[in-house]
Amino acid sequence: MGLLEGKNALIFGLANDKSIAWGITQAFKREGANLGISYAGEVLERRVKPLAEQVGCKWVEECDVTSDEQIAKTAEKAAQHFGKIDVLVHSIAYAGRDELSKPYYQTSREGFKVAMDISVFSLLALTNAFLPILNPGASIMCLTYYGSVKVAPHYNVMGVAKAALESSTRYLAYDLGPKKIRVNAISAGPIRTLAAAGVGGFRDMYKHFADVAPLRENVTIDDVGNSAVFLASDLSSHITGEVLYVDSGFNTMGVQMTMKEEKSE
């Protein structure tokens, strides 16, 4: 029997088969969850619907997370289809291309607001809307990145947004703890996703990561999917307000040097 057998899991933010959300979707399916998928905008519909079919997902809904009205409608549809929800995955982030290529101090007021609204406030908005149908013992999780606590060149306003997202995770965990609902974040190492493509110098950063991380390997969407299964399952029933690093140990490094493999005698 799978670890998520009988659990209803909603995944927000699937874009394509390179998405971290897709790694999570596949892992949840493998472990027996009943799946629901939400995507942003008509443009993504033709990519997302075939993926939903692949995992036998019957509930696929568009949701613009900048609209409280749309979020409320999505929660209503989920209630009609599933009844109650056990797992809510927030895999949503956005910043304009300008914000990820110019210096951070040139971030526009509008660009800052948009990044915060879509990448951070949407977690609060979804939590608030879905709270009435979340089962006790439910698990909410979001996706973050190490650029929240240390400088990742060109990550700019997204780093600031991820810092706010991690802080929100802790405050939500505090608020929802009495209801036995857990809130955690997964901080994944760099992965070649649609979102990563917009970050200047990502290719060099991706290579550097594998050279200096203790495990000397990049992480995959499957690695993140497996960690998400743990946070969604009863195995993590007393873990909340945490940031779980899935990054080959990169975040533990202080001085970063490319180490040559030691030769055996």
CATH numbers and ranges of domains, the chain: 8-249 (3.40.50.720)
CA–CA dist 215, 210 (Å, integer):
8
**What are 70-84's pLDDT values in tens digits?**
999 999 999 999 999
Say which residues have a Cβ less than 8 Å from residue 78's Cβ, sequence separation at least 6.
Answer: 10, 36, 59, 61, 85, 130, 133
Name the helix (H) or strand (E) containing 243: strand 243-246
Q: How confident is the model at residue 239 (pLDDT cuts 50, 70, 90)?
A: very high
**What are 134-148's pLDDT values in tens digits?**
999 999 999 999 999
pLDDT of residue 121: 98
- Of 198 and 131, which is predicted with more confidence? 131
CA–CA dist 7, 10 (Å, integer):
10
In the annotation, is 155 catalytic? yes
Q: Is the pLDDT of residue 68 over 60?
A: yes
**What are 146-176's pLDDT values in tens digits?**
999 999 888 999 999 999 999 999 999 999 9
CA–CA dist 3, 230 (Å, integer):
8
**What are 71-126's pLDDT values in tens digits?**
999 999 999 999 999 999 999 999 998 998 899 999 999 999 999 999 999 999 99
Q: How wide is the angle at C-alpha 26 spanned by C-alphas 217 and 8, nearest 5°? A: 130
Share of the chain above pLDDT 70, in %: 94
Exactly one of 155, 171, 174, 206 is catalytic; which is it? 155
- Torsion-angle region of residue 227: left (phi > 0), alpha (psi -120 to 50) or beta? alpha
In the annotation, is 146 catalytic? no
Name the helix (H) or strand (E) containing 158: helix 156-176
Average pLDDT, the chain: 93
Q: Is the pLDDT of residue 265 over 60?
A: no
Strands 134-144 and 85-90: parallel
Give every strand in the sheet of 85-90, ordered side by side. 59-62, 34-39, 8-12, 85-90, 134-144, 182-188, 243-246
Give the distance, in angstroms, between the CA of residue 27 and the centroid of all CA atoms in the same chain.
14
Q: How confident is the model at residue 260 (pLDDT cuts 50, 70, 90)?
A: low
Exactly one of 145, 146, 174, 206 is catalytic; which is it? 145
Neighbour tally for 113: CB within 10 Å = 12
Q: Is the pLDDT of residue 229 over 70?
A: yes
| Global pTM value | 0.94
The packing angle between helices 122-130 and 156-176, to 10°, is 30
CA–CA dist 57, 64 (Å, integer):
20
Q: Is the pLDDT of residue 194 over 70?
A: no
CA–CA dist 121, 12 (Å, integer):
14
CA–CA dist 203, 217 (Å, integer):
15
pLDDT of residue 202: 65
Burial class, 149, CB count within 10 angstroms (exposed 0-12 / middle 13-18 / buried 19+)? middle
- Of 262 and 70, which is predicted with more confidence? 70
